[in-house]
Amino acid sequence: MVINFASETARPTDVGILAMEMYFPRRCISEVDLEVFDGVAQGKYTIGLGQEYMACTDDREDINSFALTAVSSLLEKYNIDPKSIGRIDVGTETIIDKSKSVKTVLMDLFAESGNFDIEGIDSKNACYGSTAALFNAINWIESRSWDGRNAIVFAGDIAIYAEGGARPVGGAGACAMLIGPNAPIVFEPIHGTHMANTYDFYKPNLSSEYPEVDGPKSITTYLGALDNSYSRYREKTARATKPQAEDPKSAISLEEFDYSVFHSPYGKLVQKGHARLLFNDFLSNPSKSAFANVAEADAIRAIPYEKSLTDKNIEKTFVALAKPIYSASVAPTMACAKRCGNMYTGSLYGGLASLLSSIPSDDLVGKRVSMFAYGSGCAASFYSIRIKGSPKDIAEKMDLLARLQAMKVVPVEEYVSAMGLREKNHNAVDYTPEGSLDNLWPGSYYLKHIDSKYRRAYARVPAAIEIDLTLEDDEIEVLPPAPTGPPARQASTPRLVTPLPAPTPQTQTPPREPAPRRISPEVIELDDDDVIEISSPIHQSPLRPETKPDPGDRIELPDTIIQDAPMLDINDLSLEERPPVPPPPEFPAFARQIDVPERRFGPMNGARRPGPSLPPALRAGGRTALGQKFQDALASDKLVQSLGLRGLKEIGWRTEKRDRIASVERTVLPSWARPPNDKGKDRDPGERISRTITETRLIPPRAQKSQIKSGSESYPPRKPRKSSAVVHRDNTVKLEPIDLSFS
């Protein structure tokens, strides 16, 4: 049997970035604060290194959690079918296992869909691993092995250094990209690559996360790799596009690109690298008008190459010459680097994401972008991309600038503490990380536990709650979170309700629509610690009569009815605001305890009724508070005052109720509130009705012949007489004169 593997299918075109997502820790520190903390000269980190902020994380995050968060967010934001992925390539130098790859951990995200047929694995060489992973994914899609599915490339690291001069150039972050054909951001095929064996930066100590760094050598290695990869890119491009050129390198210059993205260990090195490209263009074509103002041009050209890598005059001359070009073509790519610092493998692609987020999408269409990838040790490539379609969807879904701004700037002491946690727990076994989950973004993955066999378990921070509210007349107010505990319940607030218009006579009364259900305000707590209070519209008055009033002698309702909301109570109506509550006088406990709620009707004839917020002893105007004689008598006996109503009953007091007519008034009441007349029919709504009040009388026991003693004075015994304290149903107290004798 002969199998023919030849395929008639056309090879994919315009392979590039279909989707993109960035991830970085929630916290960062200011390099200005770090200068103060380290006690160095002002500007050493911010001007000398060109750094502004640096992202940081503790032992709750590692490279696996970074990868899980970035890739899961990519899948979710762009609604990518997990089965549509045929390859995953990972580039990282944050190694936590000498054998098991990060890619295998990412397979957990595809297990539920049943997609286990995914090629690709990790690539490692310092910061260059991400570019190697990207080239692998592109080559797979453009190869005969491609099965029609897309690829994902993950690039990310946690860049940390030991205390000292290198610590300010740390950082953290990651990038996930969906690679496929017919993309808006297309990779051009030519690469200029340079590789060599150097020891400028390396991590030989597997018991520590910190690298060995040769600072001066790392700068010259970076600039030398840039020179060589750029030179080879120009040669290959010239041969492909301009084969007749006498000097291939002179045919291609920095002017060919609208923007330039560099691997960014720190801001100052990017500025030097960009100036170095201009220096290479000068060496290829010194007579170009752009270099007419270069001082001592011949002397500069005569400097040996190795010396040129460290020559300060060359650096100063071309940094100044390139400054306007840098502002236009490089500065828009530095948003991530300024906020997150060095992201190692994610640095270059964080720069591309910054460009897509900083320049309007329509202005980017048709532009060419140069890319310089570098990894210590060393490996470097210079290549280019072309933006053929609008990257607007990518920029909107990343929302990069807003998310960078939302990072929390913390004190340097907190950063040092986080580094201490990582140092203490590096290579730990059978432990649970100590870092707080409050320092993580909602929806991000974190390291939950490492068991006794070094197996790592991960969990996910609950994502932010998204609430779909259909609002009509509702009011939304965003409140700051309460400092401690749940917000206290707010007191009810009077609301103005428009009175109902008089109903018009009609032959047939249509069925009345049910009143809308009263919805109490509800409080919804969000992930970002905001509180949304949703207040329902003002409710309809419940005083609407069910029967049609007599149109001939209709009693007008007040112009404005004030109702107590949200706890609506017909017993709590008033035409005016209640007066302030004065301090209550001293009176027996039983008088203070009888202030219980009851049903009371609305105002009659505009008369103002005393509100329940007043003390019982002050509600009846013109009455002496508790009766001065009774108060004076009881003041001499603390025991009686402390007994209260129950205690008084236990020593022989008794209660007696009686009804009396308080007033006869003309009023309008709802049918359910009208008392029936003697004939069993409802009263006329405009009829004058009497208002009855039930009084409760407290009757003291018959007293024995005794005398009241107060100090040295004595009073002759008197015959006690029956007296009473009257407690009205409207919570007022009236005390009649009494004579008491206590032994």
Query: Cα(154)–Cα(421) distance, rounded to whole angstroms?
Result: 26
Exposure of 551 in the CB half-sphere (CA atoms within 13 A): 6
Backbone phi, psi, residue 216, to 5°:
-60, -40
Tokens of 185: 């951001």
Query: Cα(384)–Cα(233) distance, rounded to whole angstroms?
Result: 9
First-residue to last-residue Cα distance in the chain: 124
Secondary structure of 564-609 as H, E, C letters: EECCCCCCCCCCCCCCCCCCCCCCCHHHHHCCCCCCCCCCCCCCCC
Secondary structure of 668-691 as H, E, C letters: CCCHHHCCCCCCCCCCCCCCEEEE
Report DSSP letters for 349-397, one per residue.
Answer: HHHHHHHHHHS-HHHHTT-EEEEEEEETTTEEEEEEEEE-S--HHHHHH
Secondary structure of 469-538 as H, E, C letters: CCCCCCEEEEECCCCCCCCCCCCCEEEEECCCCCCCCCCCCCCCCCCCCCCCCEEEECCCCCEEEEECCC
Tokens of 10: 């056309």
CA angle 559, 564, 568 (to 5 degrees): 110
Query: Cα(139)–Cα(490) distance, rounded to whole angstroms?
Result: 64
**In 3-state terms, what secondary structure has residue 271?**
helix
**In 3-state terms, what secondary structure has residue 72?**
helix
- Please report where in the chains the tokens 């690039």 appear, as a residue: 155
Query: Cα(74)–Cα(265) distance, rounded to whole angstroms?
Result: 25
Query: Cα(417)–Cα(433) distance, rounded to whole angstroms?
Result: 13
Query: Cα(685)–Cα(545) distance, rounded to whole angstroms?
Result: 10
Q: Which helix (H) or strand (E) holds 697?
A: strand 688-699
**In 3-state terms, what secondary structure has residue 121?**
coil
Query: Cα(79)–Cα(431) distance, rounded to whole angstroms?
Result: 36
Selection from 15, 19, 138, 153 nearest residue 80 by Cα: 19
Residue 83 annotated as binding site? no
Query: Cα(566)–Cα(521) distance, rounded to whole angstroms?
Result: 8
**Angle between the 347-358 and 129-141 helix axes, to the nearest 10 degrees?**
70
CA angle 144, 146, 151 (to 5 degrees): 145
Active-site positions read 93, 127, 263
Query: Cα(335)–Cα(349) distance, rounded to whole angstroms?
Result: 12
Tokens of 8: 């008639």
Q: Around Cβ 139, how many Cβ atoms within 10 Å?
A: 12
Residue 218 annotated as binding site? yes
Query: Cα(151)–Cα(137) distance, rounded to whole angstroms?
Result: 6
Please check whether residue 694 is in contact with residue 657, taking contact to mean a CB–CB distance below 8 angstroms: yes
Selection from 731, 449, 521 nearest residue 617 by Cα: 731
For the chain, how many residues are written?
743
Residue 307 annotated as binding site? no
Contacts of 178 (CB under 8 A, 6+ apart): 17, 18, 19, 20, 74, 78, 80, 150, 151, 152
Contacts of 7 (CB under 8 A, 6+ apart): 144
Write out the binding residues for CoA.
218, 268, 272
Write out the binding residues.
218, 268, 272
